[in-house]
Structure 1
Amino acid sequence: MKLLLTSAGISNTSIHNALVELMGKPVAEANAFFVPTGLYGVSNGGDVARRVICGTLGDPFCDMGWKSLALLELTALPTLRQEHWLPPLQQADVLLVGGGDCQYLTYWMRHSGLADILPSLLQKTVYVGLSAGSMIMTSYGTTYGNHTLAPESDKSFGFVNIAIHPHLDYEAFPQNSMANLEKLAAALPMPSYLIDDQTALKVVDGHIEVISEGHWKLVDKI
């Protein structure tokens, strides 16, 4: 299983190179699917999703020059025949999962059936998460305010037994100061990676490598 768990997307050359290495081919030769669903769990999520797709918000993610890019809207999948969306997804090189609300994203990944096929899908396809899209693959996820009516459920899948705390020291999220995130990490039972928007974790079959041109901290449990 190959995961690239980012705070803010493909924000620098080091993270870009890590993605290319995981895929085994340049971005221009790779087919990608993008999951925007988690973004609907935040205020004005529809417009946020539009801007992420168009590349006018945040670091490059969808607008990287992919050979092809398709949308995978999880809320629509329960109403569609699986043969319409699953075969193309199984041929994709990379699954891009956007941020937003972990609880809402986790709920729809389960309800859509995508969660059931992730273990087999990710034997071939590289998973690239952004913020909440990264957090749900760990053992710790959070809820983004009160913007969603998704039923209370677990907020992550635990593919990697760590916690990721993205957007470290990001001015728009003053609660994400190093001191605050260290305090949160100290209360959790698993190791925590505090990462800024220039940092990502490359995970290959459980082995974790930090890719960074910024700053980060590991709060380990001994």
Structure 2
Amino acid sequence: MKLLLTSAGISNTSIRNALVELLGKPIAEASALFIPTAIYAIPNGADLSRRVIRGSLGDPFCELGWKSLGVLELTALPSIKQELWVPMLRETDALLVGGGDCQYLCYWMQQSGLADLLPYLLQKTVYVGLSAGSMIMTRFGTTYGNHTLPAESDKSLGLVDFALHPHLDHEWLPDNSLASLEKLAATLPVSSYAIDDQTAIKVTDGTVEVISEGYWKLFTH
């Protein structure tokens, strides 16, 4: 399993180098699929999705110079025959999973069938998460509540045995101070990484490595 769990995208050279190492080839020779689903559950989600795809919002993610880039919308997949999209996934080098609402993203990962496929896909494909797209792979997720999903819906898939708190000390997110995240981490049954937007967590077959040109903190029990 090859994961690159970022806070804000491919925000610096160290994270970009980690991505290239996981791909085993230059980005210009790799194909990618972008999953925007999580962003639709937050205000102005459709426009934010457009801006992420164009590269006019945040750090580089879709606009990294991929050989090819497609968009995979999870909410559409239950109405499409699997033979139309599963082979495409298997041939893709990187799966780019955008941010937004963890609970909404997790629900559609499960409803679409992608969650069941991930353990097999990620033997070859590199999973690159951004914010909520990173958090759902861990043991902790959050929700904005701008949807009508059942309250008990899962907020994460738990493919790795730690929690992740992105956007540490971000100026737009006062609740993401180190002190606040430390209190939150104390309520969780697993270790937690708090990472800023210049940091990512690289997971290779169970081996966890912090890639950072910024600031991060590991909270253990």
| Normalised TM-score (structure 2) | 0.98
Matches within 5 A, 1:11-50: 11-50=11-50
What is the letter of the counterpart of residue 150 of structure 1?
Answer: L
Structure 1 unaligned segments of length 5 or more: list them.
none
Q: Following the alignment from structure 1 to structure 2, what is the Cα–Cα distance between the partners of residues 188 and 80?
A: 38
Q: Is 1:147 aligned to residue 146 of structure 2?
A: yes
Once superposed, what is the RMSD of the aligned Cα atoms? 0.6
Q: Following the alignment from structure 2 to structure 1, what is the Cα–Cα distance between the partners of residues 14 and 125?
A: 20
Name the residue aligned to 1:128. Answer: 128
Matches within 5 A, 1:65-84: 65-84=65-84
Q: Following the alignment from structure 2 to structure 1, what is the Cα–Cα distance between the partners of residues 203 and 107?
A: 24
SS in 2 for 1:46: helix
Q: Following the alignment from structure 1 to structure 2, what is the Cα–Cα distance between the partners of residues 73 and 57?
A: 19
Name the residue aligned to 1:5. Answer: 5
Q: Is 1:198 aligned to residue 198 of structure 2?
A: yes
Q: Following the alignment from structure 1 to structure 2, what is the Cα–Cα distance between the partners of residues 212 and 200?
A: 6
SS in 1 for 2:15: helix
How far residue 85 of structure 1 moved from its aligned partner, in angstroms, is: 1.0
SS in 2 for 1:53: helix
SS in 2 for 1:19: helix
Q: Following the alignment from structure 2 to structure 1, what is the Cα–Cα distance between the partners of residues 150 and 123?
A: 30
Name the residue aligned to 2:178. Answer: 178
Matches within 5 A, 1:150-161: 150-152=149-151, 153-161=153-161
Name the residue aligned to 2:166. Answer: 166
SS in 2 for 1:203: strand
SS in 1 for 2:119: helix
What is the letter of the counterpart of residue 150 of structure 2?
Answer: P
Q: Following the alignment from structure 1 to structure 2, what is the Cα–Cα distance between the partners of residues 216 and 131?
A: 15
Q: Following the alignment from structure 2 to structure 1, what is the Cα–Cα distance between the partners of residues 150 and 118?
A: 22
How far residue 148 of structure 1 moved from its aligned partner, in angstroms, is: 1.3
Matches within 5 A, 1:58-69: 58-69=58-69
How far residue 151 of structure 1 moved from its aligned partner, in angstroms, is: 2.1
What is the letter of the counterpart of residue 179 of structure 1?
Answer: A
What is the letter of the counterpart of residue 43 of structure 1?
Answer: P
What is the letter of the counterpart of residue 149 of structure 1?
Answer: T
- Which portions of structure 1, spanning 4 or more consecutive aligned residues, are displaced by more than 3 angstroms? none
Give the % identical residues: 70
Q: Following the alignment from structure 1 to structure 2, what is the Cα–Cα distance between the partners of residues 149 and 59?
A: 30
Q: Following the alignment from structure 1 to structure 2, what is the Cα–Cα distance between the partners of residues 151 and 187?
A: 23
How far residue 53 of structure 1 moved from its aligned partner, in angstroms, is: 0.5
| Normalised TM-score (structure 1) | 0.98
SS in 1 for 2:118: helix
Structure 2 unaligned segments of length 5 or more: list them.
none
Give the total of aligned pairs: 220
Deviation digits for residues 56-80 of structure 1 (CA, Å, limit 9, x no counterpart): 1000000111000000000000111
Q: Is 1:104 aligned to residue 104 of structure 2?
A: yes
Q: Following the alignment from structure 1 to structure 2, what is the Cα–Cα distance between the partners of residues 82 and 111?
A: 13
Q: Following the alignment from structure 2 to structure 1, what is the Cα–Cα distance between the partners of residues 147 and 173?
A: 20
Q: Following the alignment from structure 1 to structure 2, what is the Cα–Cα distance between the partners of residues 148 and 54?
A: 26
